[in-house]
Amino acid sequence: MQRTAVNPWDWSLKFGYNQAEVIEGARRHLICAGQTAVDGDGAPQHPGDMRAQIDLALDNLEAVLTKADMDLGNVTRLGVYATDVDEALKNFDLLGQRFGPHQSAPPMTLLGVTRLAIPGLMFEIEATAMA
């Protein structure tokens, strides 16, 4: 699979994402449901702690990718939902720490929402991946 970044402007790069990517040669396509800060039984974790919730949601996303024989380098699109956008953005360095080693900056949308499906959750991330 070959990825070519498309960035008519470079402002999004400082936020860790490309405006678009051209994907060529992919054979497998994975669509992940939103991953949140829940344990293996689906119980919410880290109430009131956005940073810890983002970290666990990323752990859970990586677990799904691993089960599909992929990793964060295969992610081609992210959808992010946060109950407090400003607080989420303060902690987006966590995304850089995870995606950076893969030299990946997938196109992303961040949306502020009033709540997520399970009360107490503050952050949700969904992904599309290709291999």
What are the tens digits of pLDDT across the range 52-98? 999 999 999 999 999 999 999 999 999 999 999 999 999 999 999 99
Q: Is 38 left (phi over 0), alpha (psi -120 to 50) or beta?
A: beta
Range of the domain at 35: 2-130
How many domains are contained in the chain?
1
pTM for the predicted model, two decimal places: 0.92
Residues 6+ apart with CB under 8 A from 98: 58, 62, 72
Tell me which residue of 80, 67, 131 sits closest to 102, measured CA to CA: 131
Domain CATH for 16? 3.30.1330.40
